Each structure stands twice: as C-alpha cells, then as structure tokens.
Amino acid sequence: MIVSHLITLLAEDALVVPGDIETASDSIREDPSDEAVLACALDSDLVVSGDRHLLDLAKYRGIRILTVREFMGELSAENQS
C-alpha cells in the first residue's frame, strides 16, 4: 500500500529534470557532478538520494536531503496522521 501511495505521489508531484545543466556552485568538491542535482533541486522541497556526498550535506539552501528510508518514514508518518 505504501508503494502504491508513493507512486501516486511521485506521479502527481515529482519533477523530472532532463538534460544537462551548468553549475557554478562548489558545494561538493569530492564529486562535482553532484552539483547538477543541487542546481535542479533549487525549486524543490526536498531531495531523495542514496548519494553519500549529497546526504553528507543534509541540507542545501534550506532544501532537505533525505535517504529513501527517511523519505518513506516521513510518508508513513503522514499516512498515520
């Protein structure tokens, strides 16, 4: 049930950003290619990722960066409310 709810939420609210994007930030020196994820997330509420470099930031310009497990926990808590 949670998976079908997640799929519905993603279909309604997820933003898929295709293509390449130029970045000027220097937030992730260990893996500069992750900068594209941050650039795409600027209009987002949160980022769900398994990427250690992104997760180490925890937050970027007020945008939370969560693991899939953390995100699913939040969805589950919202469903129980």
pLDDT tens across the length of the chain (81 residues)? 677 877 787 777 776 666 565 665 677 888 888 888 888 888 888 999 999 999 999 999 899 999 999 988 888 787 776
Ordered alpha helix ranges (H), 14-57: 35-40, 52-57
Q: What is the pLDDT of residue 21?
A: 59
Cα separation of 79 and 81, whole Å? 6
Q: What is the pLDDT of residue 22?
A: 61
- In the three-class reduction of DSSP (H, G, I as helix; E, B as strand; rest coil), residue 35 is classed as helix
Q: How many CB atoms lie within 10 A of CB 35?
A: 19
Q: What is the pLDDT of residue 62?
A: 92
Q: At residue 31, what is the residue type? A: D
